[in-house]
Chains A and B, each alone.
Chain A
Amino acid sequence: MSLVEVKGVSKRFGGLTAVSDVDLTVNAGEVHCLIGPNGAGKSTLFKLIVGLYPPSQGSILFDTVDITKERPYARVQRGMSIKMQAPSVFKELPVRQNIQIALQERLSGAERIAEEDRLLTLLNLGPDSDKLAGALSHGQQQWLEIGMALALKPQLLLLDEPTAGMSPEETFKTGELIKSFNAEGMTVLVVEHDMAFVRQVAQRVTVLHLGKIFARGDLESILQDAKVAEIYLGKTHAH
Chain B
Amino acid sequence: MFKLLEGPQTLGRGKIFWSCFLAVLAGALTYPLFADSYDVGNFAYFLIWIFMALGLCLMWGYGGMLSFGQTLFFGIAGYGYGVLAINMGGGTATIAALALSVVLAMVAAGILGYFMIWGGINGIFFGIVTLSATLVLAFFLGQTAGPEWHIGPARLNGFNGMKGMDPLAVGDFYIEGSALYYVMIALIVIVYLALRMLVNSGIGNVIVATRENPQRAEMLGYDVRKYQLLTFVIGSGLAGLSGALYTSWGQFITPSSIGLPAAAMPIVWVAFSGRSDLTATLVGSFLLLFGFQTITVYSQQAALVLMGALLLATVMLAPQGFVLGIGKLAADWWSGRRRRDDSPVMAEAGRLQSEES
Residues of chain A having any CB pair with chain B under 8 Å:
50, 52, 71-74, 76-77, 81-82, 84, 88-94, 97, 100-102, 104-105, 148, 152
Contacts and interface: CB of A to CB of B under 8 A. Distances in A.
Interface stretch (B213-221, B228-236, B327-335, B336-344): B213-221
Contacts of A101: 205-206, 209, 217, 220
A90 B213 contact: yes
A88 B213 CA distance: 8
A72 B219 contact: yes
A92 B219 contact: no
A60 to B, nearest CB: 16
Nearest to A96: B8
B211 to A, nearest CB: 8
B223 interface: yes
**Which of A71, A73, A91 has the most C-beta atoms of chain B within 10 angstroms of its own C-beta?**
A73
B212 interface: yes
A73 B222 contact: yes
B215 A88 contact: yes
Contacts of B215: 52, 72, 84, 88
Contact of A89 (B213, B218, B222): B213
A84 B216 CA distance: 9
Contacts of B205: 97, 100-101, 104
A76 B219 contact: yes
Contact of A90 (B216, B221, B223): B216
Given A81-B219, A82-B219, A93-B8, 4 more contacts: A73-B218, A88-B216, A91-B213, A101-B209
B224 A73 contact: yes
Contacts of B209: 90, 93, 101
B93 interface: no
B220 A88 contact: no
Contacts of B208: 90, 93
Interface residues of B, number: 18
Nearest to B221: A76
A104 B215 CA distance: 18
A90 B217 CA distance: 9
A199 B238 CA distance: 58
Given A97-B8, A100-B205, A101-B206, A77 B212 contact: no
B146 interface: no
A101 to B, nearest CB: 5
Nearest to A98: B209
Contacts of A50: 219
A77 B222 CA distance: 8
Contacts of B224: 73
B202 interface: yes
A76 B219 CA distance: 7
A88 B8 CA distance: 21
A73 B219 CA distance: 6
Contacts of A93: 8, 208-209, 212
Contact of A71 (B202, B206, B218, B220): B218
Given A94-B8, A97-B8, A97-B205, A105 B221 contact: yes
Interface string B25-56: 00000000000000000000000000000000
Nearest to A83: B219
Nearest to A79: B221
